Amino acid sequence: MLEIIRIPVLSDNYVWLVHEPESQETMVVDPAVADPVLAEAAERGWTITQIWNTHWHPDHTGGNAAIKEATGCHVTGPEAEQDRIPTLDAMVKEGDTVKLGSVTAEVIDVPAHTAGHIAFHIPSEKMVFVGDTLFAMGCGRLFEGTAAQMYDNMRKLEALPDATRIYCAHEYTKANGEYALAAEPDNLAIKERMAEVLTLRERGEATVPTTIRQERATNPFMRAGSVEELAARRTAKDNF
């Protein structure tokens, strides 16, 4: 039902432009900057009515103010980070829902990369916007949280249906896959996936969205069997 456009910005960020045709509402997930987002919406004849932020980092909220000024849109983001996102109109946490036209997203708390990080899961569309918590074959750095929190996040996300598409905010897959091969050198699924990733990147194509099924098979952080193993893998990846 939703139309989703990937907008590459900065060095490796993806902003997601999401249009609900029935209501004609258009939403932006984590706009790092404003101009390319406004231009893409204008080219399609879409009016941006909402912004959804997953966390406070400037490369996810930097476009909020200019988009809001240009469109009068409504900004929703994590309640726990409201002091760090001054453009917010609505603050949400796990258990809350957000609507885009007739489509409903469920908010999931996924702290660790930042203290109040959230994700937006849309069950009817089999999709989840995860910001910097989960990447293809990777996870976010533990800037404001713990390995235990990230381990819990992995459990929450892996419990989503296999076919759920994961919309993350960066093109990190090649580097993540190189570490995944080192972490699990005998994992045939990772080897096969990296071959696909290298082909896509050589063509200049994106490697995301990914799916829960793919991550269960190839993501060394989702596959970590304990908090301790995830912590060790995160440290190893930080120094890889």
HSE-CB of 81 using CA atoms within 13 angstroms: 26
HSE-CB of 17 using CA atoms within 13 angstroms: 24
What is the residue extent of each domain of the chain?
3-238
Task: Kindly report whether the peptide bond that precedes residue 209 is cis, defined as omega within 30 degrees of 0.
Answer: yes
Partner residues linked to 15 by β-bridges: 7
pLDDT for the residue 222: 98
Q: What's the pLDDT tens digit per position in 14-31? A: 999 999 999 999 999 999
Across 225-232, average pLDDT: 98
Q: What's the pLDDT tens digit per position in 135-145? A: 999 999 999 99
Work out the mean pLDDT of the chain and round it to a whole number.
98
Q: Which of the residues are catalytic?
A: 55, 57, 59-60, 113, 132, 170
pLDDT for the residue 52: 98
Across 78-104, average pLDDT: 98
Query: For a pLDDT cut of 70, what percent of the chain falls above it?
Result: 100
Cβ burial of 175 (10 Å; 0-12, 13-18, 19+) is middle
**What SS3 class is residue 232?**
helix
Find the angle CA(145)-CA(62)-CA(60) to the nearest 5 degrees. 40
Q: Are 114 and 153 spatial neighbours (Cβ–Cβ below 8 Å)?
A: no
Residue matched to tokens 């071959």:
195
Fold for the domain defined by 3-238: Metallo-beta-lactamase; Chain A (3.60.15)
Across 200-215, average pLDDT: 97
Q: Are 189 and 181 spatial neighbours (Cβ–Cβ below 8 Å)?
A: no
Residue matched to tokens 């994590």:
78
Across 74-98, average pLDDT: 98
Q: Are 82 and 3 spatial neighbours (Cβ–Cβ below 8 Å)?
A: no
Sort residue 127 into left (φ over 0), alpha (ψ -120 to 50) or beta: beta
Q: Are 205 and 6 spatial neighbours (Cβ–Cβ below 8 Å)?
A: no
pLDDT surpasses 90 at 78? yes
pLDDT for the residue 123: 98
Across 201-209, average pLDDT: 96
Task: Annotate 27-41 with three-state secondary structure.
Answer: EEECCCCCHHHHHHH
Q: What's the pLDDT tens digit per position in 170-200? A: 999 999 999 999 999 999 999 999 999 999 9
pLDDT surpasses 90 at 1? no
Q: What's the pLDDT tens digit per position in 161-171? A: 999 999 999 99
| Residues in Cβ contact with 182 at an 8 Å cutoff, skipping those fewer than 6 apart | 236, 240
pLDDT for the residue 148: 98
Q: Are 117 and 125 spatial neighbours (Cβ–Cβ below 8 Å)?
A: no
Residue scoring higher pLDDT (192 or 1)? 192
- Distance (Å) of CA 76 to CA 22, 54, 93, 142: 21, 9, 10, 23
Q: Work out whether strand 165-168 and strand 127-131 pair parallel, antiparallel, or are unpaired.
A: parallel
Sequence letter at residue 47: T
Residue matched to tokens 């987002």:
37
